Amino acid sequence: MTVLPIVTVGDPVLRERAAEVGAERLATPEVQRLIDDMIETMRDAGGAGLAANQIGELLRIAVIEVDHNPRYPYKPPIPLTIVVNPIIEQIDDEQFENMEGCLSVPNMRGRVPRWVNVRVRYWDRDGNEHDEVRCGLAAGTFQHECDHLDGVVFLDRVIDTRTLTTWEMFERYHKDAFFEEMRQFVARVGS
């Protein structure tokens, strides 16, 4: 497996909608190797997820995993999940504000509204269909990665730009209060 360079905001590929992946193409050694490289790249960068266009590939594929991630210690675990051709639908009107960061927007965080409960339909890397409900911070992670596949970065979703902060200033001034807010949120809604 190879760690690939991550595209950063300003590169036009981040603003393009990624293309659907057919079953035959998904099964090719090239796409399976790409998925392995995406996993390796996400883990190396300490991300909770990575979409294919973040490494310059316009395919509707994302990888998601949270396992004691030091960047996101408040996030409950999400086992490694390969998401191909995802479709996300909100289940109800309940939202929360997440303080998001992104591997393609280095050193920045900002508050983004996300749906608390979503239905996610996708294929895994073997082409098996999944239809799941994701809640809480896991729902936010899936929404973030699927946004990438539509050419949307979290900066587009920030409602109040006064919440934008560098990681250093987040650590200094906002971390403790946000972590406590997320602990209470997780206790209320689960993952």
Any idea which residues carry the catalytic annotation? 145
Location of structure tokens 């209320």: 188
- Specify the DSSP element, H or E, that contains 179: helix 175-189
Dihedral Cα 101, 105, 110, 111, nearest 10 deg: -60
Q: What residues contact residue 9 under an 8 Å CB cut-off, 6+ apart?
A: 102, 104, 105, 153, 155
Contact yes or no for 125/35 (Cβ under 8 A): yes
Location of structure tokens 């190396």: 44
Q: Is 133 helix (H, G, I), strand (E, B) or coil?
A: strand
Helices (H) and strands (E) in the chain, counts: 5, 8
Tokens read off for 4? 């690939």
Contact yes or no for 41/61 (Cβ under 8 A): no
Residue of 39, 46, 150 lying closest to 88 (CA atoms):
150
